[in-house]
Amino acid sequence: PCNLTGWWKNDLGSKMQVFKVGNDGTFSGEYHTAVSSAKNPIQTSPLVGSQHLDEDGQHTFGFTVNWKKFSDSTAVFVGQCFNGDDGKEVLHTSWLLREKVDSERDDWRATR
């Protein structure tokens, strides 16, 4: 079965560490993005999430990253862990990023 615990790296060089997945599927960790439009220097940010534990081991999961240390934004990721043909575990994810805007009128441009 796929195990989220440990270090993960994506194609852009961002890194994530999941500390431990609990028996109920909850986990926490840290995310260090390699890409940002924020003006402040990138810093490691906390993440919290939940993994759906099922019998076949290719679990779905979701987590939230609060970029509060360097940006006024929050991101959510959802994905699935696959056991690849080469035996390596692979995560496939999609994400949404919500940036702070100054007014409700600007809400249209706040989510990517």
Where do we find the tokens 């249209």? 108
Q: What is the mean pLDDT of residues 69-91?
A: 90
* Four-CA torsion 40, 44, 46, 48, nearest 10 degrees: 120
Polymer length of the chain: 112
Which tens digits make up the pLDDT trace of 27-75? 999 999 998 888 888 889 999 999 998 777 678 999 999 998 899 899 9
Q: Do the beta carbons of residue 64 and residue 49 sit within 8 Å? A: yes
Does the pLDDT at position 19 exceed 90? yes
pLDDT, position 58: 72
Where do we find the tokens 């987590």? 63
Q: Which domains does the chain have, with CATH numbers?
A: 6-109 (2.40.128.30)
Average pLDDT, the chain: 91
Does the pLDDT at position 16 exceed 90? yes
Does the pLDDT at position 85 exceed 90? no
User: Residue 4, SS3?
Assistant: coil
The pTM (predicted TM-score) of the whole model is 0.88
* Strand 6-9 relative to strand 15-21, pairing: antiparallel
Sequence-separated (6 or more) residues with CB below 8 Å from residue 52: 25, 59, 60, 61
The residue among 19 and 40 whose pLDDT is bigger is 19
The gap from C-alpha 47 to its chain's centroid, in whole angstroms, comes to 7
Does the pLDDT at position 92 exceed 90? yes
Question: How many Å apart are CA 61 and CA 38, to the nearest integer?
Answer: 27
